[in-house]
């Protein structure tokens, strides 16, 4: 089969090779891949900077949209089903294998590219907002990096759960994307966003979902109202912020970590339960993963560079069987 491998740890420009290799033989559900998702961790993997460090060479790609070729008896999907699947590695290939609990029937409303955009970002969004952030209907959520993959997913899930959303973005294109994804208000990361957020929310937001970190962290704490929660999701801004805990005491606020993969990995029932909740939001029309940029499999390096240069809008996807 045709696949992309990471063959050296030299960054997006030079780390990848298009190869012809045997199909994977691991146990699980075998999926003929039509589209594969591209995410921040794959950029880090090309530099050897991600926590998961398989021996070289390896096929990256954590999630795919495709058609089941083979499934064990009793599996929730069968040959011929359209699915979204989370395979952790191996997705940038014509055929991939995923564990049963990470394969979901793809609702008719979504195409293969949207299937490849569904699991990592939307499960993270649901986990961050609900499991970790304890979102209640009617609360106001401020979302950093709101035009990116996690950001757009968080906006859509939050809207679907009855929250009001404020998006923080850095450009006009990203403002358009955030509005398309359901932001009620959009503020600019290089403007007085903290004061705007306080004003828009009548004194302080209930939750900040933060995949960016860096130097905006302290202002995120200041943007919270009483009982507010800052949910830490990632550090695209580069630096890992530190918390002066007197701020938490003085303002009665919390900082909550949300590491989706580590939390759910050994909890298949929880993964299924979150999948069912996301299906409901797809059915109600709230969840429609926006695909910003798409490339043929052969151009995977270009796809990585979109993310690496802060240019991603919604999800970046590779077309594997166009
Ligand atoms: N905790 C978890 O379980 C979990 C799960 C999935 C992903 N993540 C993490 O979440 C983060 C976001 O992933 P994503 O897929 O949403 O990425 P993405 O689509 O590239 O979006 C990231 C956003 O971060 C903002 N940003 C601010 N400073 C940046 C910089 N120096 N370089 C790049 N982006 C910058 C950008 O928005 P503006 O330009 O508008 O500021 C960008 O849109 C990553 O760190 C990823 O590893 C965590």
The pLDDT value recorded for residue 244 is 93
Q: Respond yes or no on whether the N-terminal peptide bond of residue 322 is cis (omega within 30° of 0).
A: no
Nearest protein CA to atom 15 of ligand 1, as residue: 149
Instruction: Output the CA 74–ligand 1 centroid distance in Å.
Output: 37
> Tens of pLDDT along 108-167?
999 999 999 999 999 999 999 999 999 999 999 999 999 999 999 999 999 999 999 999
Q: For residue 310, which atom of ligand 1 is closest to its CA?
A: 33
Mutate to test the pocket of ligand 1, among 86, 148, 311 (most ligand atoms within 8 A of CB): 148
Give this prediction's pTM.
0.98
Rounded distance, CA 156 to CA 185, Å? 13
Q: For residue 41, which atom of ligand 1 is closest to its CA?
A: 47
Nearest protein CA to atom 24 of ligand 1, as residue: 145
**What's the whole-number mean pLDDT along residues 190-194?**
98
User: Scanning the structure block, which residue is given the tokens 């030079």?
Assistant: 14
Instruction: Output the CA 203–ligand 1 centroid distance in Å.
Output: 27
pLDDT band at 81 (very low <50, low <70, confident <90, very high): very high
Instruction: Output the CA 28–ligand 1 centroid distance in Å.
Output: 30
Q: For residue 238, which atom of ligand 1 is closest to its CA?
A: 31
Average pLDDT, the chain: 97
Question: CB neighbours of 13 closer than 8 A, spacing ≥ 6?
Answer: 301, 305
The pLDDT value recorded for residue 28 is 96
**50: DSSP letter:** S
Predicted confidence (pLDDT) at residue 322 exceeds the cutoff of 90:
no
CA 149 to chain centre: 5
Rounded distance, CA 53 to CA 167, Å? 33
The pLDDT value recorded for residue 243 is 94
The pLDDT value recorded for residue 238 is 86
**What's the whole-number mean pLDDT along residues 12-36?**
97
> Which of 195-199, 235-239, 290-294, 313-317 bottoms out in mean pLDDT, i.e. has the lowest?
235-239
The pLDDT value recorded for residue 127 is 98
For the residues of 10-29, what is the DSSP string, one character each?
S-TTTSEEEEE-PPP--SSE
Q: For residue 44, which atom of ligand 1 is closest to its CA?
A: 47
> Tens of pLDDT along 293-306?
999 999 999 999 99
Predicted confidence (pLDDT) at residue 60 exceeds the cutoff of 90:
yes
Question: CB neighbours of 235 closer than 8 A, spacing ≥ 6?
Answer: 211, 212, 213, 214
pLDDT band at 282 (very low <50, low <70, confident <90, very high): very high
């Amino acid at each position: 089969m045709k696949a992309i491998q990471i063959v050296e740890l030299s960054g997006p420009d030079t780390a990848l090779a298009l190869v012809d290799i045997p199909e994977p033989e691991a146990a699980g559900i075998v999926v003929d891949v039509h589209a594969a998702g591209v995410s921040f961790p794959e950029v880090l993997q090309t530099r050897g900077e991600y926590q998961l460090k398989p021996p070289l060479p390896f096929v990256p790609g954590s999630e795919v949209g495709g058609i089941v070729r083979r499934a064990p008896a009793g599996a929730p999907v069968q040959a011929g089903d359209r699915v979204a699947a989370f395979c952790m590695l191996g997705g940038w290939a014509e055929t991939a294998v995923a564990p049963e609990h990470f394969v979901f029937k793809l609702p008719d409303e979504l195409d293969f590219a949207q299937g490849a955009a569904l699991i990592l970002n939307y499960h993270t969004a649901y986990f961050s907002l609900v499991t970790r952030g304890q979102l209640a209907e009617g609360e106001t959520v401020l979302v950093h990096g709101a035009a990116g993959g996690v950001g757009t997913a968080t906006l859509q899930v939050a809207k679907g759960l009855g929250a009001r959303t404020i998006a923080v973005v850095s450009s006009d294109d990203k403002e358009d994307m955030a509005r398309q994804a359901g932001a009620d208000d959009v503020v600019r990361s290089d403007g007085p966003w903290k004061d705007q957020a306080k004003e828009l929310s009548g004194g302080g937001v209930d939750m900040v979902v933060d995949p960016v970190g860096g130097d905006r962290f302290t202002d995120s704490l200041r943007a919270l109202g009483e009982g507010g929660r800052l949910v830490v999701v990632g550090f695209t801004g580069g630096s890992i912020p530190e918390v002066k805990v007197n701020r938490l005491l003085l303002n009665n606020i919390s900082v909550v970590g949300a590491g989706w993969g580590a939390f759910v990995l050994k909890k298949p029932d929880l993964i299924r339960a979150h999948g069912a909740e996301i299906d409901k939001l797809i059915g109600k029309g709230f969840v429609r993963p926006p695909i910003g940029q798409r490339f043929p499999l052969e151009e995977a390096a270009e796809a990585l560079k979109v993310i690496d240069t802060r240019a991603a809008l919604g999800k970046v996807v590779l077309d594997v069987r166009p």
